[in-house]
Amino acid sequence: MQPATMDPAEEPPSMLWGLDPIFSAFTRLYVRDILQMVESTQVPGIYFYNSHPIYKVDVLGTVVYQREREDFFCYGVDDGTGVINCLCWKNDLFKEEEHPAKWGKPSDGDQGGFNPVAELKKLRRAQQSRCRLEIGELLRVRGPVKTSRQQREIMASTYYKVNDPVMAFQIAWMMEVPQLYRQCYDKPLQLQPNATGDSAVSSLSKATNIIKDFLKQKSVCRFRPYDVQDLLQPLISSEPRNASADQEPVAGPSACQQLHQLLKEVLQILQDEGIVYRKVKSQDEVYHVTAHDKDLLIAVKDIIREDSRREKYAEKGCHVLHILSAVRQRYSLNVSKAALELVLKSLESNSDVVSTSDSHYTAF
């Protein structure tokens, strides 16, 4: 199938691509979307997803086929939405593996003690094993997207086997990627500089900071949208928008509609950051402030204290995903991972819990 290309009239100028933060990031797209992205007519090797310019991606999936050549591996990676070919170049480790004489022989002083040559050899073999994968193993690969023989593939700049026996890494990945789609990828970015767009971004940023400052200064525990909407009123202009001085006013949302929409977007940002959450989703919109919700802090602390006594978690502590699952079962289904991380940070600063690793916690 011939890869699609974007209509030159619809494609934003290449000079503006750098304004999109996604352009310089490794984009975590589904394989299905990588295969369907349209290619730029201005610069080959640049692709567009929902008007976002993209040239490098980050993919996690299962190896469904593999071929080895002298200088590289070819892995077929399936993330559940599609399969893409990943070209993974071998490094000097594999060449050294073929020439064991380069390692030399251990000296007499190393016999019966620490042998740096042998230990380094073990380390390099471990590194090699992370790069040579078999069918069914989990692979993470990052690199630019290329089109070769009318087929999309990833030219890996980094790749490695992921050891994930309890699927904790995959679960975290599956929770994070849909959020990236909602917050970034599925929102078309207007790259053309204009006062209206700049004003909208500025208003949203100001509105978010206003609500954050209010919640912090007043030590608010919970609130409803109508409790805080008046704080954003100064950011809403009641003047009709004009296309120019000589034209009639342009129809648009009323000041009340603008206020409700701005507040809705601010509350969504605060939820995404974990600053607020809704304990019960009902028509009576009540938002709880995570940092000031004593019941939530007590619930998390009790879960960690109780489960840390179990043999399964006695040594390393409770994983953050286990804590999140328990909180949702015992307290509220609507607690997000971001909100839980704020609670854990607060508990740790008060010496109620201690982190044993980046994602494990135990009680004193």
Task: Say if 116 falls within a structural domain.
Answer: no
Least-confidence region, from 55-59, 142-146, 166-170, 184-188? 184-188
Specify the number of domains making up the chain: 3
Task: Say if 113 falls within a structural domain.
Answer: no
Q: Answer yes or no: are the C-beta atoms of 334 and 280 closer than 8 Å.
A: yes
81-105 pLDDT, tens digit per residue, is: 999 999 988 876 655 555 555 545 5
C-alpha span between 89 and 86 (Å, rounded): 10
Task: Give yes or no: residues 264 and 205 share one domain.
Answer: yes
Task: Say if 183 falls within a structural domain.
Answer: no
Task: Say if 184 falls within a structural domain.
Answer: no
Task: Give yes or no: residues 333 and 202 share one domain.
Answer: no
C-alpha span between 191 and 3 (Å, rounded): 24
Task: Say if 30 falls within a structural domain.
Answer: yes
290-349 pLDDT, tens digit per residue, is: 999 999 999 999 999 999 888 888 888 999 999 999 999 999 999 999 999 999 999 988
pLDDT more than 70, % of the chain? 82
CATH number at residue 148: 2.40.50.140
Task: Say if 121 falls within a structural domain.
Answer: no
Task: Say if 170 falls within a structural domain.
Answer: no
Q: Are strands 158-161 and 151-155 parallel, antiparallel or unpaired?
A: unpaired
CATH number at residue 334: 1.10.10.10
Task: Say if 109 falls within a structural domain.
Answer: no
Domain of residue 332 covers: 293-363
Task: Give yes or no: residues 271 and 257 share one domain.
Answer: yes
Task: Give yes or no: residues 204 and 61 share one domain.
Answer: no
Task: Give yes or no: residues 100 and 199 share one domain.
Answer: no
153-179 pLDDT, tens digit per residue, is: 999 988 989 999 999 999 999 999 999
